[in-house]
Amino acid sequence: MNTDDTISRRTFSTLLGAGAALAPALLLGDAAFAAGTPDAGNFVPSATPAREGDVLQSDFLMELVLEKGAASNVGPPGATRVAVAIAGGTFQGPKLRGTIVGPSGDWIVGRPDGSSVLDIRAVLQTDDEQKVSMTCRGIAYPTPGGPLHARILPLFETGSARYAWLNNVVAVGVLRPVPGKISYRVYEIL
């Protein structure tokens, strides 16, 4: 029996299907669907000009140099999961500098395609003895005939009033080749 306050399962599933089709249009805007579905071949960028704040800009935040410590294979048989201690290191930029202190490490998950998911957790100690927790997620993969390609996304947490601005920083780190060390140039996204 169907009253004004209830709908049938068939009507509900029809509405749900229509909602699922509308959801991407609501998220991406009508222009994205002007040429059809939003796949790589049919996506049409918005004709609306970029406004202030729409375009990504960056500013150099720091050079982060990590010293690799002992590695421990912690994965089950057939999986590549390695915890690598960070034995020390430095960071230096226009607004802060200091050293990497323990406990710090990188928990790496190797993927079947040869890429790795990075999960770096480190304690930064500034030259004025303030502590900053840094966590980074990232991806690294070998390039054909070239160097390792890696990007990290650092987030910072601190209770220090002097460095509280770091709590709101969104950043990207770009791997740089440095013999015997792991080095990232880290940029704040403005």
Per residue in 132-175, pLDDT tens?
Answer: 999 999 999 999 988 899 999 999 999 999 999 999 999 999 99
| pLDDT tens-digit map of 9-34 | 454 444 444 444 444 444 444 444 44
What single letter denotes the amino acid at residue 163? Y
Structure-token pair, residue 97 = 């500098």
> 43 with 81, same domain?
no
Structurally, how many domains does the chain consist of?
2
Burial of 182 (0-12, 13-18, 19+ CB in 10 A): buried
CA gap 174, 150 in Å, rounded: 6
Please report whether residue 53 resides in a domain: no
Percent of the chain exceeding pLDDT 90 equals 63
Same domain, 43 and 64: no
Quick one: pLDDT band at residue 130, thresholds 50, 70, 90? very high
For 55, the token pair is: 């375009």
Domain that residue 26 falls in: 1-48
Could you give the CA distance from residue 24 to residue 43 in angstroms, rounded to a whole number?
12
